[in-house]
Structure 1
Amino acid sequence: MSRLHDMGGRIGDGAVNPADNAIYARDWHGRALALTLAAGALGAWNIDISRHARERLSPRDYMNFSYYEKWIAALADLLVERGLVSEEELRRGAAAGASEAADRALRADDVAAALARGGPSGRSIEAPPRFAVGERVRTRRPARNILVDQGHTRLPSYAAGCAGEVVICHGAHVLPDSHAHDLGEAPEPLYAVRFAARELWGRAEHPGDTVTLDLWESYLEPEA
């Protein structure tokens, strides 16, 4: 079953406004991002674990929270789960004492270099890509993590069972379905797959509309 965050194509949520490109709507939004980056630099989790933490918020909170409220709520969950902060410290708004992770704190002078390094992505593997550019493929159905029940995946439910064409092979990249659950990087070939909009939605605003998704090899099979 999909979680509430997997919302693509759902009716009733209003139109997307492409002109709304404000970075921070409120002053505290930038601080929320800074706190999330600083906590991530402690090395207690990876980017896929942090994404999954946001997905695991309760449906009521997920729908009521703003974008950065989701970030802060998920961060609080991770800090408690990984033993970096206690629930009592969160309620009190103050630490009980010096943290053992203090020596791993991200310093202001190191922020630019840390951001430039980015997260885990490209990796080397011995196996050649299974699919070639121009090949027709179909995504697996249902769109779920096959390693962990109800686990994180980057295959959206609206694309499950749909046929498309490989347009780029990005090389091997860390598999989020494994990485989000501390099961290792398990790198696989990653492909850009182009779908006709009507394949995904049943109809298209314009006949030539397409949607391109980056999908891992284990999400795909040859089109029958």
Structure 2
Amino acid sequence: MSRVHDMGGRHGDGAVNPADNAVYAEDWHARALALTLAAGALGKWNIDTSRHARECLSPKDYARFSYYEKWLAALADLLVRTGVVSEEELSSGHATSVSELAERVLKAEAVADVLAAGSPYERDGTAPRFAKGDRVRSRHPARNTRVSGGHTRLPSYAAGMPGEIVLLHGVHVLPDASAHGFGDCPEPLYAVAFSARDVWGEDAAEGDEVVVDMWQSYLEPV
């Protein structure tokens, strides 16, 4: 079963507006991003864990929250779940004691260097099974095979589709494992081109492609 966030290609949501290029529609959006990055620097979770936390919001909340409201709601869940703050502290807005993580706080003068360094997810690992030009089919259904309802980067709209390898990105951390504490479990990562008409039907223009990054375990040979 898919979660509410897996809505790519769903009818009724309207077209994407390419003119909507605002960085922050509201002043507090920048603060929400800053707070999320600062909390992530405490080292209690990784980017895949945080993505899954947003996916696990209740369907009612996910549907009514704006983009950065989703970020804040998921962050609150992570902070309590990992013991960074208690529910009491979160509700009151005040700490009851000095946190053992206080020494790991991301100071303002370090932010630029930390962001510039990033968090590389490329790893050493097994040799790729596929090469550029190989025909493949994506796994169906689109689900985490390790954890029921777990995180995956395989979108439902691209599940079970025939495609072609167009690029090998190297070996990268597998999000399906990383989000749930199983370690990196690195796999080759490919860019796979699918016929837009196979994915979207006759509404798509003839000859258009949809290119999706997919880990090796998402794919099988055709």
Q: Which residue number in structure 2 is paired with residue 180 of structure 1?
A: 179
Task: Tell me the distance in 2 between the aligned counterparts of 1:142 and 1:206.
Answer: 26
Q: When the two structures are superposed, what TM-score results if normalisation uses the length of structure 1?
A: 0.97
Q: What's the counterpart of residue 57 of structure 1?
A: 57
Q: How does 1:47-126 map to 2 (within 5 A)?
A: 47-125=47-125
Aligned partner of 1:202: which letter? Answer: G
Matches of 1:163 and 1:113, distance apart in 2 = 42
1:196-211 correspondence to structure 2 within 5 Å: 196-211=195-210
Aligned to 1:3: 3
Q: Partners of 1:182 and 1:216 in 2: how far apart?
A: 18
Q: CA–CA distance in 1 between the matches of 2:135 and 2:85?
A: 48
> What secondary structure sits across from 2:202 in the alignment?
coil
Could you say which residue in structure 2 is the equivalent of 1:23? 23
Shift of 1:21: 0.7
Amino acid across the alignment from 1:201: W
Question: Which SS does the other structure have where 1:172 is aligned?
Answer: strand
Structure 2, unpaired ranges of 5+: none
Give the drift of 1:36.
Answer: 0.2
- Given that 1:47 and 1:119 are in contact with CA atoms closer than 8 Å, whether structure 2 keeps it comes out as no
Tell me what 2:41 maps to. Answer: 41
Residues in 2 aligned to 1:96 and 1:69: alpha-carbon distance in whole angstroms? 26
Distance 1:121 1:204 in 2: 36
TM-score, normalised on structure 2? 0.98
How far apart, in 1, do the equivalents of 2:189 and 2:176 lie?
Answer: 13
- Three-state SS of the structure 1 residue aligned to 2:192 is strand
How far apart, CA to CA, are the structure 2 residues paired with 1:138 and 1:66? Answer: 34
Q: Separation in 1 of the partners of 2:212 and 2:64? A: 28
Matched-pair identity in %: 68
Counterpart secondary structure, 2:10: coil
Q: Specify every segment of 5 or more residues in structure 1 that has no aligned partner in the other structure, as ranges.
A: none
Aligned CA-pair RMSD:
0.8
Q: Distance in 1 between matches of 2:193 and 2:12?
A: 26
Q: Which amino acid aligns with 2:12?
A: G
Q: Distance in 1 between matches of 2:46 and 2:209?
A: 32
The superposition leaves residues 140-161 of structure 1 with CA deviations (integer Å, 9 ceiling, x where unpaired) of 1111000111100000011110
Structure 2 counterpart SS, 1:171: strand
Asked if the contact 1:139–1:160 (Cα under 8 Å) also holds between the matched residues in 2, the reply is yes
C-alpha distance in structure 1 between counterparts of 2:181 and 2:94, whole Å: 29
- In the alignment, the residues of structure 2 paired with residue 104 and residue 128 of structure 1 have an alpha-carbon distance, to the nearest angstrom, of 37
Shift, 1:208, TM fit? 1.6
CA distance in 2, matches of 1:135, 1:85: 49
Letter in 2 for 1:175: L
Q: Provide the aligned length of Structure 1 versus Structure 2.
A: 222
